[in-house]
Amino acid sequence: MITFSLLLAAAAALNTTAAPKAGDGFGSISGHFMWEGEKPAPKPDLPVDEKAATGCKHPAEGMDKKDDSLLIDEKGGVANIVVTLSVDGVERKVPTEPIVIDQMGCRFHPHVVVVPIGGTLRFANSDDTNHNIHTYPKKNDAMNKQVAALSNLDVKYDKAEVIEVKCDVHTWMKSYAFVTDATFWATTAKDGSFKLEGVPAGDYELTWWHEDLGKGKTEKVHVEAGKDATVEQKVGAEKKAGGGRRR
> Helix, strand or coil for residue 78?
strand
DSSP string, 165-221: EE-SSSTT-EEEEEEE--SEEEE--TTSEEEEEEEESEEE--EEEETTTEEEE---E
Residue-level pLDDT at 246: 39
Topology of the domain comprising 4-246: Immunoglobulin-like (2.60.40)
pLDDT digits (tens, 9 = 90+) for 70-105: 999 999 999 999 999 999 999 999 999 999 999 999
30: nearest Cα among 16, 40, 43: 16
pLDDT digits (tens, 9 = 90+) for 211-245: 999 999 999 999 999 999 999 999 998 655 444 44
pLDDT digits (tens, 9 = 90+) for 7-23: 444 444 445 554 444 45
Helix (H) or strand (E) holding 108: strand 107-109
Please check whether residue 104 is in contact with residue 168, taking contact to mean a CB–CB distance below 8 angstroms.
no
pLDDT digits (tens, 9 = 90+) for 43-75: 999 999 888 888 887 655 578 899 999 999 999
pLDDT digits (tens, 9 = 90+) for 122-159: 999 999 899 999 999 999 999 999 999 999 999 999 99
Residue-level pLDDT at 58: 64
User: Averaged over 198-222, what is the pLDDT?
Assistant: 97
The type of residue at 44 is P
